[in-house]
Amino acid sequence: MTDCGPNASPRSKGNVPAYREIYHRVRTEILTGRLPASARLPSSRTLAVQLGVARGTVELAYQMLAGEGYTLSAGARGTIVNPSLPVERKPVTFASDPRKPLRDVQLRLPPKPLLFQMGLPALDAFPRKQWAQVASRVARRVDVEQFAHPHDVMGYEPLRQAIASHLRITRGIACGAEQVLITAGALGALELIGQTMVVGPGDAVWMENPGYFYARDILRKLPVRLIGVPVDGEGLDVAAGIAAEPDATMAVVTPTHHYPFGMPLSQARRRALLDWAERRHAWIVEYDYDSAFHFRGATAPALKSLDRVGRVLHVGSFGKVLFPGLRMGYLILPHALLGRFEDVARIAHPSPPLMIQQMVHAFMREGHLARHVSRMRRLYAERRDALANALRTVLPDALDLLVPDGGTHVVAHLHGPERDVDLVARLRGSGIGPWPLSRCAVTASAANGLIMNYTNVAAADARSAVERMAAAMS
Amino acid sequence: MTDCGPNASPRSKGNVPAYREIYHRVRTEILTGRLPASARLPSSRTLAVQLGVARGTVELAYQMLAGEGYTLSAGARGTIVNPSLPVERKPVTFASDPRKPLRDVQLRLPPKPLLFQMGLPALDAFPRKQWAQVASRVARRVDVEQFAHPHDVMGYEPLRQAIASHLRITRGIACGAEQVLITAGALGALELIGQTMVVGPGDAVWMENPGYFYARDILRKLPVRLIGVPVDGEGLDVAAGIAAEPDATMAVVTPTHHYPFGMPLSQARRRALLDWAERRHAWIVEYDYDSAFHFRGATAPALKSLDRVGRVLHVGSFGKVLFPGLRMGYLILPHALLGRFEDVARIAHPSPPLMIQQMVHAFMREGHLARHVSRMRRLYAERRDALANALRTVLPDALDLLVPDGGTHVVAHLHGPERDVDLVARLRGSGIGPWPLSRCAVTASAANGLIMNYTNVAAADARSAVERMAAAMS
């Protein structure tokens, strides 16, 4: 096989010799600041091997760079970029970058958390020390198990056992580890369900309206018809769903705490939903959102615990009980769907890197997770009450407050004429980040309000936080 | 909101009191062995909070379990499962598990690597110590950046910078960090391309035939027509592709080293392919497979380096230069596609957990990766030669050997009448794991042979490894 040497090869730039081409490439990196001051260059030996040229060729280029003052020899550290470069370094620019300004700017996440920002657990109360110990211990291991593509495409077997055991005891779900598929967060589970279960086009899917916007966005990418089904104090109005589209093939619901309003799906509605699914051979996707955090009485058991014939796919996540950056969730599958999901998993490898799964498993096994969740349950109840009190005191007229019995947020319906998205955009400028309720609309919805996460507002700070928001609102 | 207490709640099992329900659930876990001997039970306080019942209720259940000998008090360790349980523990069974026996059993990965197993770098030569140090140092950090969903859905910015810089220097690709999207391995990149770029149904996609089977499997899930385009010594036969389907919207190719045969796409074919894509506004997906490992002359530069108008999507992976269990890859996008991919990324969050990205970045920044790759390039050249020699000596008549100038495997065409899948299935039984060449067929292909990875066969062991295979073959 021959060297086919197109233009970009360091040895074949028309009549430019290879060492000059290497010199030019490295010099460009330095001049644009992409190789910053004092950055170490690869050794001439390493770069020569990488480029497939003689070591002398790279050395010649490096000598030219040193001779012109771009680089310095730094002893054992090798060659570095001259920290006091005598030439003017231009900032990196991309003259022809045709990217449009970002749409929907107010919905992008900022680098630092905002006040009331959704989706974050309490940053101040996370057991950093225990997590750091467990995570670094797991990371220090480099065994074949971590190294290779995982043997089991459904996820790390001990973690699947631990999750099944946890769900049997705390959520009443009679499941075995073989039904557990570890996913990249709840979103990964919903993506996978979409890929695997949607036959479409024309498949209809029920969603609570308003409902979980991420699930809606994932479903919108698929060739399905989304049916927004209204909710009331008992959760999804099953009769309204049947009236709108009895032949839907799937319903996506949040039965433990409705997203975003927080009420559980009533016992009567649960039966009605399961009856519909059994009769129509439809599937129910239960997103068990925030079920770990319930503050009054017993947590409603999972809908899956009532599923006698295997119509319910149960989705859970470690995003709130640990942290969302882990991107770790799970899917409890009916036995009849295991083969189908395993086939897809064998191609898509949906589980996170094994190392991360091992970290979460060790954290569970050593009891840290259960202790942390108990503590957060008490803490979040306290923070919820403090925020609700502050909102009622400081902004009694502007907002109509809904304080769910569980979860991690309150919902404040807006009285005034301003649209929630406009208000949210204004508040962002002041570092305040509630989520607009109207963004949860699946189909037309009059909902206009703020979803406010309280996990990161200490009880003692609730009053001043709300005063800050009130000032920014007016 | 009321407690809607369905059957599975610990406080509402018909007339069964809550403590008895808890007693039964835990006892079942113990009797089935899912809570193994000496396993620690959650504290009564923690479980009470989790279940939303009074602590006394859990304590009553625990007293019953202890009274019947299922559990013991173990001082500071709390309550544990009695290690010398006087009752017979039944193994976990799922009487009604309707799972079918697994199809295609010979293609599942085993828990321990097999001889010649594909997709693994050298396990014996990985710089474990350096990796363990870097990984555990990163894992010890628990900062907000790691905690939250990533600010940048395209991936960790410093890693994107490092990848862009690496590709500019070693692969001749003029790209900025803003064009880099970090993905869950090369497969994650291909999945994402499929989701984002396929308009279908009816879209036609060229693939090399034979070609990269994982890409084929991903494309087969989508509503596209796969066009298998023949390859010869110069790689993809562009003229044959145009004759078969000039209006294809995409071509998926391995220009640096064809998968599985290893030849680079010739200069003339590169021009022809780019000309076709420019003329037809088609996209080219370049999977830069194994480009780090090239053993003779300069590595062919990336096709992307010749892409003047932005028709090439460049896919790379850390699977071979580090290890596949990381599930880390990247996608270099034309500027015109950035908005589209960013929109999809904002919903799908395709990048691996930030912690893993930070580990890889630190490993690159400190120069470990470049040094490791140079070492492996020399080691793999040596192992390739040793295996080729051993195959020619021990099995001169059975195989027709193709030894590529780069990559991590050789290809052995079979002379005899046995089908490669049957031979591979037989060899699996002896712990020998080449991959069947026929599995790389995109459409009809007469290819019949073994793909043999040599990265884990030390030069000194090559002869005995081949003798072991020869014995298993006869």
Whether residue A378 and residue B344 make contact (CB cut-off 8 A), yes or no, is no
Buried/exposed A419-455: b ≥16 CB within 10 Å, e otherwise: ebbebbeebbeeebbbbbbbbbbbeeeebbbbbbbbb
Residue B429: is its pLDDT beyond 80?
yes
Position A13 scores a pLDDT of 45
* Residue of A415 and B387 predicted with greater confidence: B387
* Residue of A348 and A130 predicted with greater confidence: A130
Note the pLDDT tens digit of each residue in B229-255: 999 999 999 999 999 999 999 999 999
Note the pLDDT tens digit of each residue in A281-300: 999 999 998 889 988 888 88
Enumerate long-range contacts of A396-402, CB under 8 Å, 24 or more apart: A398/A470, A398/A473, A399/A449, A399/A450, A400/A449, A402/A261, A402/A262
What's the mean pLDDT in B146-153?
78
pLDDT band at B12 (very low <50, low <70, confident <90, very high): very low
Beta carbons of B159 and B167 less than 8 angstroms apart: no
Q: Which of A190, A189, A164 is nearest to A177 (CA)?
A: A164
Note the pLDDT tens digit of each residue in B103-124: 333 344 455 789 999 989 998 9
Q: Could you give the count of Cα atoms lying within 13 Å of B276 in the half-sphere of its Cβ? A: 24
Position B4 scores a pLDDT of 35
Q: Shortest CB distance from A45 goes to which of B150, B188, B374?
A: B374
Which one-letter amino acid corresponds to residue B122? A
d(CA B60, CA A229): 43
Residues of B in contact with A325 (CB under 8 A): 145-150, 353-355
Instruction: Please provide the DSSP assignment of B107-159 as one string.
Output: GSPPSSPPBT-TT---STTS-HHHHHHHHHHHHH---HHHHSSPS-TT--HHH
Average pLDDT, chain A: 87
Whether residue A327 and residue B349 make contact (CB cut-off 8 A), yes or no, is yes
Whether residue B46 and residue A302 make contact (CB cut-off 8 A), yes or no, is no
Position A32 scores a pLDDT of 76
Position B110 scores a pLDDT of 52
Beta carbons of B361 and B158 less than 8 angstroms apart: yes
Highest mean pLDDT pick, A125-129, A322-326, A450-454? A450-454
pLDDT band at A105 (very low <50, low <70, confident <90, very high): very low
Percentage with pLDDT > 90 across chain B: 61
Task: Specify the pairing of strand A409-414 against strand A399-402.
Answer: antiparallel
d(CA B136, CA A132): 9
Q: Which of A114-118, A142-146, A351-355, B12-16 has the lowest mean pLDDT?
A: B12-16
SS3 B402: strand
Q: Which of A419, A152, A242 is nearest to B111 (CA)?
A: A152
Residues of B in contact with A136 (CB under 8 A): 136-137, 139-140
Instruction: Give the nearest chain A residue to B96 (CA atoms).
Output: A335
Whether residue A324 and residue B147 make contact (CB cut-off 8 A), yes or no, is yes
Position B97 scores a pLDDT of 33
Output phi, psi for B448, to 5 deg.
-145, 105
Residue A91: is its pLDDT beyond 50?
no
Residues of B in contact with A296 (CB under 8 A): 1, 52
Query: Using the 8-state DSSP alphabet, how is residue B310 labeled?
Result: S
SS3 B408: coil
> What is the biggest distance separating any 2 CA atoms in chain A, rounded to whole angstroms?
82
Whether residue B327 and residue A270 make contact (CB cut-off 8 A), yes or no, is no
Position A10 scores a pLDDT of 54
Position B14 scores a pLDDT of 52
What's the mean pLDDT in A174-203?
90
Q: Which of A434-448, B236-250, B419-433 has the lowest mean pLDDT?
A: A434-448
Residues of B in contact with A354 (CB under 8 A): 325
Which of B133, B149, B323, B359 best probes binding to A when mutated, by most A CB atoms within 10 angstroms?
Answer: B149
Measured in angstroms, the CA of B310 and the nearest CA of chain A are apart by 12
Average pLDDT, chain B: 87
Strand partners, A264: none
Residue with tokens 């000998």: B69
pLDDT band at B93 (very low <50, low <70, confident <90, very high): very low
Q: How many residues are listed for chain B in this entry?
A: 474
Residues of B in contact with A298 (CB under 8 A): 3, 5, 9-12, 51-53
What's the mean pLDDT in B49-67?
83
Which of A43, A169, A265 best probes binding to B when mutated, by most B CB atoms within 10 angstroms?
Answer: A169
Residue A391: is its pLDDT beyond 90?
yes
A263 CB-near residues (< 8 Å, 6+ apart): A231, A233, A234, A235, A257, A404, B1
pLDDT band at A104 (very low <50, low <70, confident <90, very high): very low
What's the mean pLDDT in A185-204?
88
Measured in angstroms, the CA of B52 and the nearest CA of chain A are apart by 4
Residue A216: is its pLDDT beyond 70?
yes
SS3 A162: helix
* Residue of A453 and B195 predicted with greater confidence: A453
Position B87 scores a pLDDT of 46
User: How many residue pairs from chains A and B have C-beta atoms closer than 8 A?
Assistant: 365
- Token pair, residue B247, equals 């209006």
Output phi, psi for A339, to 5 deg.
-60, -40
Residue with tokens 């640990």: A322
Position B35 scores a pLDDT of 80
Position A410 scores a pLDDT of 97
- B78 sits in the region (left: phi over 0; alpha: psi -120 to 50; else beta) called left
Beta carbons of B185 and B317 less than 8 angstroms apart: yes
Residue B216: is its pLDDT beyond 60?
yes
Instruction: Please provide the DSSP assignment of A356-381 as one string.
Output: HHHHHHHHHHTTHHHHHHHHHHHHHH
Burial of A129 (0-12, 13-18, 19+ CB in 10 A): exposed
Beta carbons of B162 and B361 less than 8 angstroms apart: yes
Q: Shortest CB distance from B7 goes to which of A2, A126, A306?
A: A306
pLDDT band at A99 (very low <50, low <70, confident <90, very high): very low
Torsion sign across C-alpha atoms B436, B442, B444, B446: negative
Measured in angstroms, the CA of B221 and the nearest CA of chain A are apart by 9
Burial of B70 (0-12, 13-18, 19+ CB in 10 A): buried
Which one-letter amino acid corresponds to residue A366? E
Q: Could you give the count of Cα atoms lying within 13 Å of A4 in the half-sphere of its Cβ? A: 22
Measured in angstroms, the CA of B322 and the nearest CA of chain A are apart by 9
Residue B444: is its pLDDT beyond 50?
yes
Strands (E) in A88-193, as ranges, are 180-183
Q: What is the CA radius of gyration of chain A?
A: 28
What's the mean pLDDT in A161-175?
92
Measured in angstroms, the CA of B17 and the nearest CA of chain A are apart by 14
SS3 B335: helix
Whether residue B139 and residue A123 make contact (CB cut-off 8 A), yes or no, is no
Beta carbons of A419 and A465 less than 8 angstroms apart: no
Position A110 scores a pLDDT of 53
Strand order in the sheet with A283-287: A180-183, A329-332, A312-317, A283-287, A250-253, A203-209, A224-232, A235-236
What does pTM read for this prediction?
Answer: 0.81
Position A111 scores a pLDDT of 57
Residue with tokens 């780090």: B292
Task: Specify the pairing of strand B203-209 against strand B250-253.
Answer: parallel
Apex B8 CA angle, B7 and B14, nearest 5: 35
What's the mean pLDDT in A380-388?
97
Position A107 scores a pLDDT of 40
Whether residue A147 and residue B120 make contact (CB cut-off 8 A), yes or no, is yes
d(CA B264, CA B359): 32
Residue B91: is its pLDDT beyond 60?
no
Buried/exposed B425-454: b ≥16 CB within 10 Å, e otherwise: eebbeeebbbbbbbbbbbeeeebbbbbbbb
Beta carbons of B155 and B182 less than 8 angstroms apart: yes
Q: Shortest CB distance from A1 goes to which of B12, B263, B353?
A: B263
Beta carbons of A297 and B52 less than 8 angstroms apart: yes
Position B103 scores a pLDDT of 34
* Residue of B42 and A100 predicted with greater confidence: B42
d(CA B42, CA B246): 64
Residue A150: is its pLDDT beyond 80?
no
What's the mean pLDDT in B389-409?
92
Residue with tokens 């000596």: B393
d(CA B304, CA A8): 10
Residues of B in contact with A49 (CB under 8 A): 373-374, 377-378
What's the mean pLDDT in A134-160?
87
> What is the biggest distance separating any 2 CA atoms in chain B, rounded to whole angstroms?
82
Torsion sign across C-alpha atoms B219, B220, B222, B228: positive
Q: Shortest CB distance from A356 goes to which of B99, B298, B356?
A: B356
Q: Shortest CB distance from A325 goes to which of B108, B170, B354?
A: B354
d(CA B310, CA B333): 8
Measured in angstroms, the CA of B249 and the nearest CA of chain A are apart by 20
What's the mean pLDDT in A81-110?
45
Q: Shortest CB distance from A149 goes to which of B144, B148, B324?
A: B324
* Residue of A267 and A26 predicted with greater confidence: A267
d(CA B428, CA A85): 60
Percentage with pLDDT > 70 across chain B: 91
pLDDT band at B287 (very low <50, low <70, confident <90, very high): very high
A462 CB-near residues (< 8 Å, 6+ apart): A383, A386, A387, A389, A390, A454
Q: Which of B72-81, B148-157, B177-186, B187-196 has the lowest mean pLDDT?
A: B72-81
- Token pair, residue B280, equals 């037809």
Whether residue B6 and residue A170 make contact (CB cut-off 8 A), yes or no, is no
A421 CB-near residues (< 8 Å, 6+ apart): A106, A436, A438, A439
What's the mean pLDDT in A336-362?
92
Enumerate long-range contacts of B276-282, CB under 8 Å, 24 or more apart: B276/B238, B276/B241, B276/B242, B276/B246, B276/B251, B277/B251, B277/B311, B277/B312, B278/B309, B278/B311, B280/B246, B280/B247, B280/B248, B281/B311, B282/B248, B282/B249, B282/B250, B282/B251, B282/B311
A133 CB-near residues (< 8 Å, 6+ apart): none
d(CA A81, CA A74): 9
* Residue of A74 and B5 predicted with greater confidence: A74
Note the pLDDT tens digit of each residue in B174-188: 999 999 999 999 999
* Residue of A349 and B463 predicted with greater confidence: B463
SS3 B35: coil
Q: How many CB atoms lie within 10 A of CB B419?
A: 13
